[in-house]
Amino acid sequence: MMVYLVPNTPLAHWVYLVVVGIILAGAYVAFMKKNYHLHEEYLKSLEK
């Protein structure tokens, strides 16, 4: 849906791409900060 709201110019498409990338990267970092401890606990359980 958002694609239809962005003007049909190369600059607007690049800005849209960068903004979406930043949002996805931010969501990934937030998810990892919240759940990375589970990964560390799993790796420690494998060493035992």
Residue 3: partners with Cβ closer than 8 Å, 6 or more residues away: 16
**Confidence at residue 6, expressed as pLDDT on a 0 to 100 scale:** 72
Q: What is the pLDDT of residues 5-48, one digit of tens each?
A: 778 888 988 998 999 999 999 999 999 999 988 888 888 899 86
**Confidence at residue 41, expressed as pLDDT on a 0 to 100 scale:** 87
**Confidence at residue 47, expressed as pLDDT on a 0 to 100 scale:** 85
CA separation for the pair 11, 13 (Å, rounded): 5
| pLDDT at 1 exceeding the cut of 90 | no
CA angle, residues 20, 17, 33, in degrees to nearest 5? 30
Residue 47: partners with Cβ closer than 8 Å, 6 or more residues away: none
As a whole number of Å, the end-to-end CA separation of the chain is 50
Domain ranges within the chain, ordered by starting residue: 2-47
**Confidence at residue 7, expressed as pLDDT on a 0 to 100 scale:** 81
Cα 11 versus chain centre, distance: 22
